[in-house]
Amino acid sequence: MIDRVVIRFAGDSGDGMQLTGDRFTNSSALYGNDLATLPDFPAEIRAPAGTLAGVSAFQVHISDHDITTPGDAPNVLVAMNPAALHSQLDRVAPGATIILNEDAFDERHLTKAGYDADPRRDGALDGYTVYEVPMTSLTKGAVTPLGVKPRDAERSKNFFALGLISWMYTRPVEPTLEWIQRRFVARPDVAEANTAAFKAGHAFGETAELFDHPYEVHPATLPAGMYTNITGNTALAWGLIAASQLSGMPLFLGSYPITPASDILHELSKHKNFGVRTLQAEDEIAGIGAAVGAAYGGHLGATTTSGPGMALKAETMGLAVNLELPIIVIDIQRGGPSTGLPTKTEQADLLMAYYGRHGEAPLPILAPRNPGHCFEVAIEAARIALTWRTPVILLSDGYLANGSEPWRLPDVDSLPDLSPTFATAPNHVNADGEPEFWPYLRDPETLARAWALPGTPDLMHRIGGLEKEEGTGNVSYDPVNHEEMVRIRAEKVARIAESIPDVEVTGDVEDAEVLVVGWGSTWGAIDGAVSRARRAGHRVAHAHLVHLNPFPRNLGDVLRRYPRVLVPELNLGQLAHQLRAEFLVDARTVSKVRGLPFTAAELEQAIVDHLKEGA
Amino acid sequence: MSDTTIPVTTRKDWTSDQEVRWCPGCGDYSILAAVQLLMPDLGIRREDTVFVSGIGCAARFPYYMNTYGMHTIHGRAPAIATGLALARPDLHVLVVSGDGDALSIGGNHLIHALRRNVNITILLFNNQIYGLTKGQYSPTSEVGKVTKSTPFGSLDHPFNPVSVAIGAEASFVARTHDMDRQHMMEVFRRAFEHRGSSLVEIYQNCNVFNDGAFADVTAKEHRADMLIPLRHGEPIRFGADGERGVVIDTQHGAHLVDVADVGEDALLVHDETRDDPSVAFMLSRLATGPHEPTPIGVFRDVVRPDYGEGVNQQIAAAQEQRGPGDLGALLRSGATWNVN
């Protein structure tokens, strides 16, 4: 019995590794393990077969206790070909188990993978426990009797691998067999072949004498409740639907396909029975434009994108700031600039979220910390947008988007009421004593402007991108009015802080030598690193920001309470820059911009190094 | 006005309290007047009407209408109007745009709104010049146009807005001009009543930066010889005595003839409802610019599914099949397990 294991499936883009990993994850979730996943695939749909560029991998960390990351180094690598082995070997833990598809290790594949010599024979794999399994031929052997052509038969080899690993880790078999039937319902021959391959892999584990025994990772002890396994993108989609239900406003998503955000569009387009309207727009600009138009009409307007799309949407965000209309802008950050690393994760759009618009155009910014948290943060984004009549930016990233974890379902009845108040009657009396409607009369507390929907009698008014006169909303070129409006829009966003919770500090709250401050998806790795550093005897605290603009009111006090502040980010120090500017603290950066999340081990090392440095 | 629930209104009711700030003599005034005069006659409520515009001189239009209105971003009005029209099919959404706004910076949104057939009415004020930025050539300016940005003459081949719209298979395409209020009102009404996207090109004089650009065809004394009125079901002919006409032959496509040469029966009978857009397109190519006999009126008016209606039908069908959304059930829709 073991308490946790990190398994990495790697093969060609066409080998079905994402499917295999996903399926293993789901049967582990149903079994009750805690888990976290890291899909890692190339931008090309099918890079040349057998090459390093075409390797697609899926890492899953399963555990009998609460875990927060997909694991640093895999304990098990399943390599479907030499390229998979070559590209992944340096990530693998010392002494790890490596399971190779023996059939793919011929000279042609070895050359394609950039091997001069066979790594199985030249000592490259010394120190690892290597199992060579002829997966291709065993799969063919199991599948061809069903009448499947040899070429097609080979395609089922990922199910052979899945069967084998399922046996090794004592996963329940039934959920996968049932899933195969459902998934391939339209192709009974494929369902039959995959079932046969899966069973063959399972039986191979049981009967071959290669493996001495299966491992067991017991179910984790998690807080009581009903759980489902969820990715960040699905959680965002469901969060938007929830926000629509809670506000009573139909959801309108204007979006243009872009990796890694498209799955939100896909998910939402399935749920039309919730009154969800999705528009696959002609471009990024039209996506957000349509969302603004729908918001003007009283729908919950949202747009989803990644960095390059954010750049294109910037002008329309500026319009929404001026119109003071609520929309939710979701940026699934990826490696940039430009096309960059479309399928890899990064956190380098933060300063763009703060400052990437023309004029003084402050916006609230939020960042979820793990896949399940995306649900909650989508609702929070809607709460802020609707209460303050402002666009809100939600920064997720590629890691949260595709990574999954068990998520305890919230009690639907406990979710907040988000119904906005629309103007239905004139709110002002003109000089002649006539009632009239002023769209820029504000709520004295929130500074939110009056919001009248088209269709409301007697409240006809015009809004636009030209500067407004405070109150009437008429076009105004008055210099004093412009400054007043700039300050009001800034103050309105600043006041949101009054409604957000203080940032919590965990770890050595009282006497930490260093406070580690993070935001967004680095939460799991930082949490793991802080725990490890504390176990090693260091005094470390952790504060994680969900609200990035405005910051929680206590953040300044928290930052000044500790002698050192360390900010790990998947960029060159954007939050640290902001913290320094706002609070005059000596925040230090731990950077990583490799398209990969932090590992807990490397952050632990960074914390320890930092403490040594100034000691 | 047969619907008694619609209050009787006049032009004044549709006019906002904002001072109109176009240059004196601008063609926009007569277009605004035509629209304000027409609105009381359309049998709709002011509060159900929204004018959406982008940027440019024409884009100030919504401020002058006592309806709901949005003055948005350069080129983006069709996209923003698309969102509004899809969200609120109960509203009448009109887009006011110019040649730069609609065909240069916003060309992409225009063609996609037309192809989708979103239920919006687009009024495209074409003055063949950039007015608000003070006189650069536009995507409809003729080749060789000398402007501040093209002191040696422009090199770009211009768009013909009607051709572009027909090329995008717009379901309603028409042309009118700012010198003929009656014609504008007739065409605007047709465009407004059309279900789906409708586009009206309006030849509009910019008396400051491009004065007289359309005078060759729109001046009263030239109209009979230079404007070819398109009337559904009638042979296409023009001239003071209808002495000229349009024929189509397989060799030369649509071209102008003297009726006396070919006989009345040879003339092309205008059919707005022809599904195939190629004849309408040929008509749009009769003139290379507003210096030759130019067709005006409705080029095309066909029935195509309204995008918003399709969206709503899919929602209704989903609700019919699966019932209204149940959030708790959605959250439980994947594989779930209980921890005690």
List, for residues B273-328, the tens digit of each pLDDT value: 999 999 999 999 999 999 999 999 999 999 999 999 999 999 999 999 999 999 99
Compute the radius of gyration of chain A from its Cα atoms: 27
- Whether a cis peptide bond, with omega within 30° of 0, leads into A326 is no
DSSP A47: P
CA distance A221 to chain B (A): 8
pLDDT tier at B143, thresholds 50, 70, 90 = very high
Q: What is the pLDDT of residue B2?
A: 46
> B340 or A311: whose pLDDT is higher?
A311
Q: Indicate the SS3 state at residue A589.
A: strand
Q: Hey, are the CB atoms on B87 and A297 less than 8 Å from each other?
A: yes
List of chain B residues whose C-beta atoms are within 8 Å of the C-beta of residue A323: 70
Q: What is the pLDDT of residue A545?
A: 98
Please identify every stretch of chain A with a pLDDT value under 70, giving residue numbers as ranges. Answer: 212, 614-615
Distance of CA B74 to the CA centre of its chain: 17
What gap in Å lies between CA A422 and CA A268, rounded to an integer?
26
* Rounded mean pLDDT, B225-248: 97
No. of helices (H) and no. of strands (E), chain A: 20, 23
Q: Hey, are the CB atoms on A29 and B47 less than 8 Å from each other?
A: no
pLDDT tier at B217, thresholds 50, 70, 90 = very high
Q: Hey, are the CB atoms on B69 and A175 less than 8 Å from each other?
A: no
Distance of CA B316 to the CA centre of its chain: 31
How far, CA to CA in Å, does A338 sit from each of A147, A308, A334, A401, A504? Answer: 48, 6, 10, 20, 36
Specify which residues B92 forms β-bridges with. Answer: B49
Best of A33, A460, A469, A476 to mutate (most B CBs within 10 Å, chain B): A460
Q: What is the pLDDT of residue A615?
A: 57
Q: What is the pLDDT of residue A611?
A: 95
Phi, psi of A228 (to 5 degrees): -140, 160
DSSP B64: G
CA distance A423 to chain B (A): 14
Return the structure tokens found at B141. 């300016």
Nearest CA in chain A to B65: A462
List of chain B residues whose C-beta atoms are within 8 Å of the C-beta of residue A319: 72-73
Q: Hey, are the CB atoms on A316 and B338 less than 8 Å from each other?
A: no
pLDDT tier at B4, thresholds 50, 70, 90 = low
A268 touches chain B (CB under 8 A): no
Specify which residues A397 forms β-bridges with. Answer: A333
ipTM topping 0.95: yes
Compute the radius of gyration of chain B from its Cα atoms: 22
Q: How many CB atoms lie within 10 A of CB B340?
A: 4
Nearest CA in chain B to A320: B72
CA distance A319 to chain B (A): 7
Cβ atoms of A286 and B108 within 8 Å: the answer is yes
Q: Is the pLDDT of residue B1 over 60?
A: no
List of chain B residues whose C-beta atoms are within 8 Å of the C-beta of residue A327: none
A228 touches chain B (CB under 8 A): yes
Q: Is the pLDDT of residue B74 over 90?
A: yes
Cβ atoms of B176 and B169 within 8 Å: the answer is no
Cβ atoms of A216 and A210 within 8 Å: the answer is no
pLDDT tens for B85-133 read 999 999 999 999 999 999 999 999 999 999 999 999 999 999 999 999 9
pTM of the model: 0.92
Identify the residue whose tokens are 């329940």: A172
Cβ atoms of A247 and A270 within 8 Å: the answer is no
Q: What is the pLDDT of residue A213?
A: 72
For A289, the closest of B69, B76, B331 (CB atoms) is B76
What gap in Å lies between CA A183 and CA A177, rounded to an integer?
10
Instruction: Using a pLDDT cut of 70, give the percent of chain B over it.
Output: 99
What gap in Å lies between CA A107 and CA A111, rounded to an integer?
6
* Rounded mean pLDDT, B146-156: 96
Size of interface A-B (CB pairs under 8 A): 209
- Whether a cis peptide bond, with omega within 30° of 0, leads into B161 is no
Q: What is the pLDDT of residue A127?
A: 87
Cβ atoms of B227 and B246 within 8 Å: the answer is no
Residues A500-517: b if buried by 16+ CB within 10 A, e if exposed = beebebebbeeebbbbbb
Q: Hey, are the CB atoms on A273 and B334 less than 8 Å from each other?
A: no
Q: Hey, are the CB atoms on A409 and B331 less than 8 Å from each other?
A: yes
Work out the angle between the directed axes of helices A262-269 and A232-247 (0-180°, nearest 10).
Answer: 50
CA distance B190 to chain A (A): 23
How far, CA to CA in Å, does A533 sit from each of A71, A515, A544, A609, B328? Answer: 16, 12, 17, 11, 40
